Structure 1
Amino acid sequence: MAPPLSSWPWANLGAYKYVLCGPLAAKAISEWRETGVSDGGAWAMHLLILFALRGLTYQLWHSFSNMLYFTRRRRVIRSSLDFDQIDKEWDWDNFLILQALLASVFFYRMPSPGDHLPLLLQLKGVITALVLHVVVSEPVFYLAHRCLFHGDYLFSHYHSIHHSSNVPQPMTAAFGTPLEQLVVSVVMAAPLVGAFAVGQGSWSLVYGYVLVFDFLRCLGYSNVEVFPAWLFEAMPILRYIIYSPSYLTLHYKEKNCNFCLFMPLFDLLGNTINNKSWELQKEISLGKNSDRVPDFVFLAHVVDVTSSMHVPFVFRSISSRPFAVHLLLLPFWPLAFVFMLIMWPLSKTFPLSFYNLRGRLHQTWVVPRYGFQYFLPFCREGINDQIELAIVRADKLGVKVLSLAALNKNESLNGGGTLFVSKHPDLRVRVVHGNTLTAAVILNEIPRDVEEVFLTGATSKLGRAIALYLCRKNIRVLMLTLSTERFLKIQKEAPAEFQHHLVQVTKYQAAQNCKTWIVGKWLSLREQRWAPSGTHFHQFVVPPIIGFRKDCTYGNLAAMRLPKDVEGLGSCEYTMERGVVHACHAGGAVHCLEGWTHHEVGAIDVDRIDVVWKAAMKHGLRPV
């Protein structure tokens, strides 16, 4: 049987747990109608507003902590947030519900709270709260933290779960058992109760103290050193008045040191300060803990405004799952659109996320451009300039392989990366479009007993490679194209004895008896109707076709599942499942793992399709 107060009583409610705040919301609506908020009444409304503002505080700190383009050189722990930690901390906001309910009881029992609780801040109330925080909250938290929760029994049954997360995050500060959160609630409430007891309480004090308390908790757990070294050197006393993220991280890693709430003064009095605290703070703040150069970079792009919010520094509960349009995101659409306008003039890619695979650091960089911009003629030169700058930057850093995402290697844009390799013949970084593995994934989905396939987008880079590969396997390929010249050019590339397997067709009617369609060009419902019942649509078209036919099956875009030993992966790649990446991304990773020294740009080398596939299997990547 689990120890009391070691699990949340509403743990099985999921998202329905917020119904527990229903009575508070009902009380707020009732009071709003009766008294309004101008006179300090409607305490339930204030509690709901405070609930929302506290959640926003944690969210904003999370966003800041995970903006790698701002924070990566000042991160204390270099590891990345992974799916296990996100799932473990999924219900981090349980403490908000708990404290809202406790506050409801407190205000409900106050006589005529609306008549005696002003809105405006009172100086005596601020002084009272600060004094009580220093003489009550800080020492109580220190003693409870050190003597109780780091004792053998309470640590193993209650506090160890808080230390089980790999990387401190703002949400980690709020992650704990009910017993821990009750202790934190008492520590936080003591100065406010004291101010109320002497008649100096106000709603401004409640808002101010609680939000500053949350702000400082998030600051410590942000994993980003925000204080400059010169500040503590100029005023050494500050070291004992306010803790830093590196100070708290030492407690998080080594456990038996740095126990304070916000003031290291109490660690000094208790002789529990880690000797490395100030040295580590200076090292991180000066950037001496330099950013590790990635071995592999995947150069991605944004699809549209809505998907731009599917990034690790926005909502991790959304980015850690396959992309979908959530109602939660719709109110933020205008903000994302404004952000797009701000990003438009930027000419530099920025890092978005990273993970480790077989000891090699893999990073995702993003070109700050949206999908529709790739099809605007006046944007193409600027986009190519950005991609080129990213390649040159990666080359200077010492990156080994850079792989181009779908639109970044568009044939009409830069010839599948050929433009950059031709312009910079001395590149040390290997530029890879990853299409060889994409072709391999599609080809290995096709059943071995298939004798005929229908191929759209037949003269594209992928279509050409698929057609040439299949004809060598004695499979008849119906190639849909109106260009006889382009068809004949591809047909001549096939060995003479297999050329008759390549057949040009110009209408969809030609495939009305073929049940294996390989789609490289978007299909409408009218065009899909020519497929016989039972057809399976393999596809490499972006965006994927819509599954109109209920009597047919539809494959996903070519993708591969990363090995289970990947570390620090905490976000999904667009619509892909957890741990799954697009095949072109996986192709670049395999290129890096194999240590190949050639560029993979331009036309696909059909002879290397099986080589790349076997290499991917060797390194533990698997088809989805």
Structure 2
Amino acid sequence: MVSPLSSWPWAALGSYKYLLYGPVVAKAVQAWRDEESSWSSLMESWCVHLVLLLALRSLTYQLWFSYGNMLFLTRRRRVVPDGVDFQQIDAEWHWDNMVMMQTLIGAMVMNSSPFSSAGGLIRAWDPRGWAVALLLHVALSEPFFRWAHMALHRDPLFSRYHSKHHSSPVTQPLTAAYGTPLESLLLTLAMGVPLAGAFLAGSGSLSLVYGYVFLFDYLRCMGYSNVEVISHRAFQAFPPLRYLIYTPTYLSLHHKEKDCNYCLFMPLYDLLGGTLHRSSFTLQKEIDSGKNDRVPDFVFLAHVVDVVSSMHVPFAFRSCSSLPWSPHLVLLPLWPIALGIMLLQVLCSKTFTVSFYFLRGRLHQTWTIPRYSFQYFIPPMKKGINRQIELAILRADKMGVKVLSLAALNKNEALNGGGTLFVAKHPDLKVRVVHGNTLTAAVILNEIPSNVKEVFLTGATSKLGRAIALYLCRKKIRVLMLTLSSERFLKIQREAPAEFQPFLVQVTKYQAAKNCKTWLVGKWLSPREQRWAAAGTHFHQFVVPPVMEFRRDCSYGKLAAMRLPKDVQGLGSCEYTMERGVVHACHAGGVVHCLEGWEHHEVGAIDVDRIDQVWHAALKHGLSPP
């Protein structure tokens, strides 16, 4: 039997729960559209203020979440160095249930006596109300919350109501609102007593409602942000401050050890009650000094695809980044903001750490260069982009990173020869530069059924096309290589052993593949070009962007990718359009390079003799085809 107040009554509604806001929003809109209403009378509508507070509170949680996960700003001051995994994200998916409940309760309370008249809201400011609210918060809310919090830590209350909240190993601002209805009601009571007291005393005001609610949420989010915000020097300069305001370290100790640090915002009551963790300030000082900062073993150097997809980064919207990328209408209004941030990053000329995870005790990070895909094809910009990549490599080398893998266009042959430019310019690099294309080739080759005797290859003279052709001809598979350049074809053909050279055949038109049902696509195909494929053809792809799925009587493969091992920790974001736990093959190639401890650079042309070696190494370490 489910315990009362242990589950949300609207849980079955899913995202349709937001329809419960309908009456409140409808009344606010009605007040807004009332032509006879003046601005002052509009401001007397509680529904208008509840909607505005809802927007303000949601923005507060979101901004704190974004700040706490901007690793390029907060990496050195993170309290718990672990990442937030998909399990925690899914558990906290409906974190806003508490905000929803408080909004609906507010609508009911404010439309009942003695608040229905809204007389207190006529005043924009009343210092007496602030004094009353502060007094009630310190004298009633703080000790009440501590008492209720301690009660929730005793069985059976803990197992029924509070254990879910403690199941989140890494605190986040969104974790602050995650809990059962009983927990949310207790928090609502702690928040509501000071406000109610001020209004009952006749000293309520607009500024008190907005200010107190905002400060409550602000401090709550700060404590759960997992990032030390207040410098330990402030506590050293004014020692009583450590008992007047809590820190993320103070709260993380409670989540880790549970039987200490119960207070809401003021550790003073834990001090008086004997439940203050003795290491709270010492540990806060160590973390604020950068104790948890760690040099990554592996770095994947990515770039931005376009403005809209730039909002797929983990510090933007967790509900978006934790799922494979797809356009959402809700993101379109934020396009100007995303563009502004990107332009600011371009001006900074700096790479940014955007995500991380742990694998076999090794820290893997993703850095991104603030450049869009189209910029890589503008000749005057190539020099600046290469400079950005070079600076990232030198930074990684200085830090002590073992392997840096180049993503997508960062290893473009026309841009830097697949990374050869940087290795040749800096021969003493300790960091291994990897393009990861060897594993990409291996993934594509292992997708081809063993009974295939002939394939059609577009993009045949590219880096990947060359390696695939040379590998397949050794397996006595006939390769129709689409290229207009006889010189490039002959150069590749001469690389194959003499007995296998007849298996490489140059073709110049798509018509030559009309009877071949295995197409390896390394060059974008238009719908017209796809018409030449026979019914039942499968398109294996290593082209960016992927081709349009035009033919209903054919099948289309995805971009080469690998699933990370099951023991990966702290992974909570998807890599662009990839599924959860799946990364592009070039990313996985760098991971394998790091796990194997190989000392060579993987740049330039693909070594065909290493394809099987890299594939078997990937499987040995638990990576698998998705």
> Is TM more than 0.5 here?
yes
Distance 1:77 1:67 in 2: 15
CA offsets per residue over residues 439-488 of structure 1, 9 Å max, x none?
A: 00000001111111110000000000000011111111000001000000
Question: Does residue 1:204 correspond to 2:200, yes or no?
Answer: no
2:81/2:292 contact within 8 Å kept: no
Contact 1:31/1:41 (<8 A) preserved: no
Aligned partner of 2:134 among 116, 130, 134? 130
Establish whether residue 221 from structure 1 lines up as the match of residue 193 from structure 2. Answer: no
Query: CA offsets, 1:509-553, max 9 Å, x none?
Result: 111111111000001011111111111100100111110111111
* 1:236 aligned onto 2:239: yes
* 2:125 aligned partner: 121
Match in the other structure for 2:417: 415
User: Aligned equivalents of 1:582 and 1:316: distance in 2?
Assistant: 21
Change over 3 Å in CA distance of 1:77–1:36 after alignment to 2 = farther
Residue in structure 2 matched with residue 28 of structure 1 by the alignment: 28
Does the residue aligned with 2:122 lie in a helix, a strand or coil?
coil
Aligned partner of residue 585 in structure 1, secondary structure: helix
CA distance in 2, matches of 1:57, 1:11: 24
Q: Deviations over 1:1-34 (max 9, x none)?
A: 1111111111111100011111111222233344
Task: For 2:478 and 2:125, locate their aligned partners in 1 and report how far apart those are by CA, in whole Å.
Answer: 81
Output one character per residue of 1:367-421: Cα deviation in whole Å (capped at 9) or x when no partner: 1111111111111111111111111111111111110001000000000000111
- CA distance 1:36–1:90, change in 2 (3 Å): farther
Structure 1: 4+ residue segments shifted above 4 A: none
1:114 Cα offset (Å): 4.2
Match of 2:369 in 1: 367
Tell me, yes or no, if the aligned pair for 2:120 and 2:199 is still in contact at 8 Å: no
Per-residue CA deviations over 1:257-315 (Å, capped at 9, x if unaligned) read 1111001111111111101011011111122x041111111111111101110000000
Structure 1 distance, partners of 2:515, 2:45, is 71
Change beyond 3 A, Cα 1:307–1:390? same
Q: 1:144 is matched with which residue?
A: 148
Listed as ranges, the matches of 1:573-592 within 5 Å are 573-592=575-594
Distance between the aligned counterparts of 1:439 and 1:354, measured in 2?
A: 25
Cross-structure match for 1:526: 528
Report the Cα distance in structure 2 between the residues aligned to 1:554 and 1:304, rounded to whole angstroms: 24
Show the 5 A alignment for 1:262-281.
262-281=265-284
Task: Report SS of the residue matched to 2:347.
Answer: coil
User: Between the two proteins, what is the percent identity of the paired residues?
Assistant: 70
Deviation at 1:38, TM superposition (A): 2.0
SS of the residue corresponding to residue 79 of structure 1 reads coil
What's the TM-score once normalised by structure 2's chain length? 0.98
Taking only aligned residues, the RMSD between alpha carbons, in angstroms, comes to 1.0
**What amino acid is the match of 1:264?**
P
Query: Post-superposition shift, 1:340?
Result: 1.8
Task: Give the count of matched residue pairs.
Answer: 622
Aligned-partner SS, 1:92? coil
The whole-number CA distance in structure 2 between the counterparts of 1:612 and 1:553 is 28
Match of 1:593 among 595, 600, 604: 595
**1:600-611 equivalent positions in 2, closer than 5 A:** 600-611=602-613
Matched, 1:286 2:289: yes
Instruction: Indicate if the aligned counterparts of 2:133 and 2:197 stay in contact, CA closer than 8 A.
Output: yes
Instruction: Look up the equivalent residue of 2:267 and give its one-letter code.
Output: P
Task: Give the CA deviation at 1:37.
Answer: 4.8
Q: C-alpha separation between the residues in 2 aligned to 1:361 and 1:117?
A: 53
Residue ranges of structure 1 left out of the alignment (5+ in a row) = none
Mapped partners of 2:39, 2:589: distance in 1: 60
Cα distance in 1 between the residues matched to 2:123 and 2:222: 27
Letter in 2 for 1:71: T
Once the two structures are superposed, residues 43-65 of structure 1 have per-residue CA deviations (whole angstroms, 9 ceiling, x without a partner) of 11110110111011000000000
**Match of 1:343, as an amino acid?**
Q
2:147 & 2:501 partners in 1: Cα distance? Answer: 82
Q: Which residue of 2 aligns with 1:256?
A: 259
Q: State the distance in 2 between where 1:36 and 1:177 align.
A: 41
- Of 78, 81, 95, the residue aligned with 1:78 is 81
| Candidates 513, 516, 519, aligned match of 1:514 | 516
Moved more, 377-386 or 312-321: 377-386
> Structure 2: any 5+ residue segments left out of the alignment?
none
State the one-letter code of the partner of 1:539.
Answer: Q
Q: Please give the alpha-carbon distance, in whole angstroms, between the structure 1 residues aligned to 2:359 and 2:185.
A: 40
Alignment counterpart, residue 432 of structure 1, candidates 431, 434, 451: 434
